Chains A and B, each alone.
Chain A
């Protein structure tokens, strides 16, 4: 799986959009970008994934650059409950392999 690079930490004001970047410059054509988050003392929670088109669901939006070398997870209206570590993971879908977690970005949403 391709390596990802994320900033170690970010702050965001409550109610504002949180934009979490991820670099994956070595991504290959059949690798998807997955985002998970881990709230303190809980198991990771699936957020969203995509291949090359932008994706949106009830939790977030995923913007993938045209060259696919980077992506941004957008939480449109961050709340205090969105404080968590966010992991960007690149992997081949349907390969049956595990998820490899890097350091992630610790997002702190402040009142």
Chain B
């Protein structure tokens, strides 16, 4: 299957700082990437849809000014958590659409664990 990477795999930061998470599709181009968030013992919740060359679409309740998404190329999307607070501590996961197959399939990155102190 296709490979999606995320960097960093984990990050610890102080409250009030900003953190950038990168999501890369390594062996395919992805016009659309998705950002999910997962709290302990819960399922994945979609935060936003990232489209290459256009503004991201955010789910209801997700602050677009706090979670900045940039999808500047067909293989890279970034999520910046601005002015992070302890309640933003979570597991952030991206996925990318692989259109090479007859039926589109989404592949996920390994996730980034964020801890805000």
Which chain A residues have a beta carbon within 8 Å of chain B's beta carbons? 32, 34, 36, 38, 41-46, 49, 51, 87, 93-96, 98-104
Whether B43 contacts A41 by the Cβ 8 Å rule is no
- Are B111 and A43 in contact, CB atoms less than 8 angstroms apart? yes
**Complex: chain B residue closest to A45, CB-CB:** B108
- Whether A104 lies near B49 (C-beta < 8 A) is no
7 closest residue pairs by CB, A with B: A43-B108, A93-B103, A101-B44, A101-B43, A43-B111, A44-B108, A94-B104
A49 is contacted by which of B91, B105, B107, B110 (Cβ under 8 Å)? Answer: B105
Check A41 against B104 for contact (C-beta < 8 Å).
no
Shortest B61–chain A CB gap in Å is 15
Contact, CB under 8 Å: A98 / B49: yes
Residues of chain B contacted by A42 (CB below 8 angstroms)? 110-111
> What is the count of residue pairs linking A and B with beta-carbon distances less than 8 angstroms?
58
- The interface residues of chain A, by DSSP majority, are classed as loop
Given contacts A41-B111, A44-B108, A49-B103, contact A96 B44 (CB under 8 A): no
B55 to chain A, nearest CB (A): 16
Cα–Cα distance between A96 and B105 once the two chains are bound (Å): 10
Cα A51 to Cα B4 in complex, Å, equals 25
**Interface status of B46 (Cβ within 8 A of chain A):** yes
State whether B103 touches A32 (Cβ < 8 A).
Answer: yes
Q: Which of B95, B99, B110 contacts A99 (CB 8 A)?
A: B95
Give which listed residue, B6, B104, B110, contacts A96 with CB less than 8 A. B104
> Chain B residues near A36 (CB, 8 Å)?
108
Given the known A-B contacts A41-B91, A96-B97, A103-B43, are A46 and B111 also in contact in the complex, defined by CB atoms under 8 Å?
A: no
Instruction: Tell me, in angstroms, the Cα distance from A45 to B93 when the chains sit together.
Output: 12
Task: Add 19 more A-B contacts to A44-B93, A101-B36 (CB < 8 A).
Answer: A32-B103, A34-B105, A41-B91, A41-B113, A42-B110, A43-B95, A43-B108, A43-B109, A43-B111, A44-B108, A49-B103, A87-B43, A94-B99, A94-B104, A95-B104, A96-B97, A96-B104, A101-B45, A104-B43
- Report the minimum CB–CB distance from A59 to chain B (whole Å): 10
Contact present for B108 and A100 (CB under 8 Å): no
Contact with B34, one of A95, A98, A104 (Cβ below 8 angstroms): A98
